[in-house]
Chain A
């Protein structure tokens, strides 16, 4: 594709801190650094996966990008229809609103993301309605088309969400996200609440839609096998920071960060002989309200040296398109998982 290398979204130094308030006067006594200096970009038409343990800031990052919550600092550039890069982070709410039709979200929990009191027609048609498609018939036709697109019967549009299973509800959620023809779709763990068999259906649907509509995905996940299947590039997050970012192949085949290595070793392997090689991380995930000194990962890292506890590693490009934030990235040779 010609525009394959065109950057659609660029995030620079994104930060989101949540204040911790205590006492009667609700004084701010500390901050949870949920997202701390995150930088990445997504090219048009590709899928970038954001992986990490729960609580590492993946969801916060994705919500900041959609301006569902306001970032504390940083820049988020989004390519508008007029092909200019616009910093969404700095825009007032009123100017973000028209941009929302270009980026939409698929939610994790298909049970709470659909209003149980509205029919499919109202749920999927709502974005259309608020963006000016007031003609009922026109809206109905579009909803029918969308439902068909995600593999649902258009006759079901009079039904309420309670009539559908988790996988079907997730399809409805996808139809709603696609209603306004967005270019960027942020999928916040869209399959983690579903059965494994249904997960595959939804992932294949997402891939099919990407092909058909030329969508760009920011795919938030904690399941590496899902990530491997769907994404071109992967960014690994740990306690609010991106520790490694590279193509899927490199992340899986030749990781450069010890945390990535540990994550990969936790992927279930069908071959029992390989299971003993699992790296079990010691200790707890660092507390984002009170992170350790230096590299946040050093208390749990088996390769840590003195410098790791003293200096914060900077993100550097060790190979073309392969970014790592680790002091020892050049010396270590880490184990990935071979692709079958």
Chain B
């Protein structure tokens, strides 16, 4: 027969609800806050401790603000070329004039050297051109539909295209600063679009692979392995070469996004599959099944929230790879082609040593590439550390 006396009379017994509230239940306010904190709050608290990741996220926010306001930040039309202004070096902005704050640049006159046929530029210290904030410049449509002509900086009286060269100009005399702004927009959004596309592919295929397992899983995993074993550059070359030369800039843009994401989904698919496999074994998933939850509820209420944070971390880590892909493809002349502007297209101008020796400022577009990729990696790192606040 059953014993009716408790085994351990010293321990607190569960004989009535009020007796079973030991001292540890008396929590302070801070503990109470942790007790009711959601997953995302816990993640945020941990992410905040990662200083580099915090710095990275601020930089990324700035980058995307730039990407959204390029027309405002650029002061010259990025497509306006002029042989008379070819390869001008970056121009210094002078902040003070006779002790007063009055930013200005000096005028520049150019002429061709009769011996070398190189264009030489002489700063004309007599002509002061004052630089103004929120000046009027070329017409644009903000976000594609709001007509506007206000720019962050500009010059009075004359056109900015002719007088202001903050980062110098390229061979065709186009303003590098303005082109860099537009390049930032293209490159960042191609990265984002590719990552979203690979996310869709990765989650769908990884989810199927992990949820069903068996032969389907084997097939998908082998495909991933084959895709990952192909050297990327030749494969890109092949795919990009297959794009018809007659395609418009938009079509190429779309095609490049597709090419990058078709090769980039494998990592995300693996993350998703791994999470599915491990979650399928979890007791709380079985508990949900035994409680009578349907399959959809189990997947979307129990499984997906458990790996959502991992996916976001994996996405952030995949983004720089996408940006690098686009940049290298365009640099090799196989991705976006002029007149499209991207970081890779800009760097294409800096391809030969001659151009670099004469005009080193053409290499400036590599700086934002490095900063953006580093920032994405730091943020991804921080997110990965914070992704599982219960681990």
Contact = CB atoms under 8 A, between A and B. Distances in A.
Interface of A: 26, 47, 66, 68, 97, 100-101, 104-105, 107-109, 112-117, 119, 126-127, 130-131, 148-153, 156, 158-160, 162-163, 165, 173, 176, 179-180, 196-198, 200-205, 207-208, 225, 228-232, 247-249
Contacts of A200: 6-8, 11
Given A105-B286, A232-B1, 7 more contacts: A97-B292, A114-B287, A115-B288, A117-B306, A204-B14, A207-B4, A231-B2
A68 B286 contact: yes
A68 B289 contact: yes
A47 B284 contact: no
A107 B390 contact: no
A180 B12 CA distance: 27
A230 B6 contact: no
Contacts of B42: 162
A196 B6 CA distance: 13
Contacts of B19: 151
A169 B310 CA distance: 25
8 contacts: A105-B290, A117-B39, A152-B17, A165-B24, A180-B291, A204-B7, A229-B2, A232-B1
B13 interface: yes
A205 B19 CA distance: 12
B15 A208 contact: yes
Given A116-B39, A208-B14, A232 B294 contact: no
Contacts of A158: 36
Contacts of A163: 31, 34-36
Contacts of A101: 292
Interface of B: 1-4, 6-8, 10-15, 17, 19-21, 24-25, 31, 34-39, 42, 214-215, 282-284, 286-294, 297, 302, 305-306, 390
Q: Which 10 A-B pairs have the closest CB atoms?
A: A163-B35, A151-B20, A200-B8, A113-B283, A127-B291, A205-B14, A115-B284, A159-B35, A112-B283, A116-B390
B38 A160 contact: yes
Contact of B297 (A130, A148, A156, A160): A130
Contacts of A207: 2, 4
Given A68-B289, A113-B284, A160 B302 contact: no
A151 B14 contact: yes
A307 B265 CA distance: 62
Contacts of A114: 284, 287
Contacts of B282: 112
Which residue of B19, B34, B36, B284 has the most chain A CB atoms within 10 A of its CB atom? B284
Contacts of B10: 197
A288 to B, nearest CB: 20
A249 B39 contact: no
A100 B290 contact: yes
Contacts of A229: 2-3, 7
Nearest to B7: A200
A201 B294 contact: no
B282 to A, nearest CB: 6
B292 A131 contact: yes
B302 A115 contact: yes
Contacts of B34: 162-163
A36 B164 CA distance: 87
Contacts of B25: 153
A67 B289 CA distance: 10
B13 A107 contact: no
A201 B284 contact: no
Nearest to B287: A113
B280 to A, nearest CB: 12
Nearest to B27: A163
Contacts of B31: 163
Contacts of A196: 8
Nearest to B1: A249
Nearest to B288: A126
Which residue of A109, A173, A201, A208 has the most chain B CB atoms within 10 A of its CB atom? A201
A232 B11 contact: no
B292 A100 contact: yes
A126 B294 CA distance: 12
A230 B297 CA distance: 36
Nearest to B291: A127
A196 B36 CA distance: 29
Nearest to B305: A117
B1 A201 contact: no
Contacts of B15: 204, 208
Nearest to A110: B283
Contacts of A47: 2
Contacts of B287: 105, 107, 113-114, 173, 176
Contacts of A112: 282-284
